[in-house]
């Protein structure tokens, strides 16, 4: 369980997050949605200890993120930042393999190797495993980064806009993979999404943020309604129902 209590954050004098309290239970896929600048990435980076907590408390499985050792947390939660840049010339298999670092500190054993191969397969990277990351397309590189986070083998996966650069095929594929690891391996996935229909189709719960606050929170069917979405995104959008599921026609 991720427990966020009264967390506020400001950069210099600019407030970013206002007194956020949120509990994300273990298991399932939780989507963070909201307009640009809502504070989604900031909240995720606080949970992932990438920046220091200013006020409030955050714990994962009861371990406070600000006082628990980095090594311990790296075995519990993996983070993929938005727009991660890999400037290193690493082969895909090597990059994904570094996901095992928290467990083996650099010495790969047979278990590690098996997990690496499984991660490569899961994200359809087996054919690219010997390629240097800097020779891949943006979408392929994004998949390699997600595979690396998956390879870390943590109970919690924190993903900041992982669908960036992915085409329709791989965006759907990634969401299905995440759904699968949540359902079959009991992983907890927290994912920042801009595609509200992806959130509606694959998440168990949608948390909407705006202006540094959580302004709505619930199951997709409760969240994907015209009034809620208008509150969050600031314009009225039609919501259709296809096969009993809400589909947001936000582009019209």
Partner 1 sequence: MIAAAAKKPLRLGVIASLGLAILFVLSLFVGVSDLPFGTALSDPDALQLLLVSRLPRTLAAVLAGAGLAIAGLIMQTLARNRFVEPATAGTAQSAELGILAATLLWPGATLAMKTLVASGAALLGTSIFFMTAHRLPPSQPFLVPLFGLVYGGVIGAGVTFIAWQANLLQYLAIWTNGDFSGVLRGRYELLWVAALMVALAWFVADRLTIMALGRDASIGLGLDYAGMMRIGLIIVSVIAALNVVVVGMIPFVGLVVPNIVSRLMGDNLRGTIKWVALSGAGLVLGCDIIGRLIRYPYEIPVGTVMGVVGGTLFLWLLFRRPAHG
Q: Provide the angle, in degrees to the nearest 10, between the axes of the packed helices 110-122 and 138-151.
A: 140
Of 16-55, which residues contact partner 1 (CB under 8 A)?
Answer: 45, 48-50
Q: Measured from the CB atom, is 74 or 196 closer to partner 1?
A: 74
- Token pair belonging to 8: 């506020």
Rounded CA-CA distance 187/180 in Å is 9
- Could you give the angle at the alpha carbon of 50 between the alpha carbons of 223 and 100, nearest 5°? 95
Rounded CA-CA distance 223/192 in Å is 15
Residue 89 in contact with partner 1, rule: CB under 8 A: yes
- Return phi, psi of residue 2, to 5°: -100, 120
Q: Measured from the CB atom, is 87 or 168 closer to partner 1?
A: 87
Residue 65 in contact with partner 1, rule: CB under 8 A: no
Question: Please, what is the minimum distance in Å from the beta carbon of residue 184 to partner 1?
Answer: 24
Residue 68 in contact with partner 1, rule: CB under 8 A: no
* Options 13, 87, 168, 252; binder of partner 1; rule CB under 8 A: 87
Q: Is 11 helix (H, G, I), strand (E, B) or coil?
A: strand
* Options 31, 32, 73, 214; binder of partner 1; rule CB under 8 A: 73
Q: Is 186 helix (H, G, I), strand (E, B) or coil?
A: coil
Q: Measured from the CB atom, is 49 or 210 closer to partner 1?
A: 49
* Options 102, 153, 200, 212; binder of partner 1; rule CB under 8 A: 102
Residue 131 in contact with partner 1, rule: CB under 8 A: yes
- Token pair belonging to 194: 């801009």
Residue 81 in contact with partner 1, rule: CB under 8 A: yes
32 torsion bin: left (phi>0), alpha (psi -120 to 50), beta (else)? beta
Q: Which stretch binds partner 1 (CB under 8 A): 64-72, 169-177, 184-192, 213-221?
A: 64-72
**Inter-residue contact 80 to 165 (CB < 8 Å):** no
Q: Measured from the CB atom, is 104 or 241 closer to partner 1?
A: 104
Kind of pairing between the strands at 28-33 and 188-192? parallel
| Chain residues in the site for partner 1 (CB under 8 A) | 45, 48-50, 70-75, 78-81, 84-91, 94, 98-99, 101-102, 105-106, 129-132, 135, 149, 152
């Amino acid at each position: 369980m991720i427990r966020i209590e009264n967390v506020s954050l400001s950069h210099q004098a600019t407030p970013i997050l206002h007194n956020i309290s949120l509990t994300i239970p273990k298991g399932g896929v939780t989507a963070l949605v909201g307009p640009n600048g809502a504070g989604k990435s900031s909240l995720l980076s606080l949970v992932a200890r990438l920046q220091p907590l200013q006020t409030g408390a955050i714990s994962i499985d009861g371990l406070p993120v600000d006082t628990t050792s980095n090594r311990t947390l790296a075995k519990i939660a993996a983070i993929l930042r938005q727009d991660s840049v890999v400037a290193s010339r690493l082969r895909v298999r090597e990059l994904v393999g570094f996901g095992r670092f928290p467990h083996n500190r650099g010495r790969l054993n047979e278990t590690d190797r098996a997990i690496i191969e499984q991660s490569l397969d899961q994200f359809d990277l087996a054919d690219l495993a010997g390629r240097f990351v800097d020779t891949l397309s943006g979408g392929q590189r994004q998949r390699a980064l997600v595979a690396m986070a998956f390879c870390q083998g943590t109970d919690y996966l924190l993903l900041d806009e992982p669908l960036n650069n992915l085409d329709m095929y791989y965006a759907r594929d990634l969401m299905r993979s995440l759904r699968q690891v949540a359902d079959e391996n009991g992983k907890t996935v927290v994912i920042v999404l801009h595609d509200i229909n992806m959130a509606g189709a694959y998440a168990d719960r949608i948390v909407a943020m705006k202006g540094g606050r959580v302004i709505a929170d619930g199951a997709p069917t409760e969240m994907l309604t015209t009034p809620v979405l208008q509150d969050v995104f600031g314009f009225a959008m039609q919501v259709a129902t296809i096969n009993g599921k809400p589909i947001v026609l936000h582009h019209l």
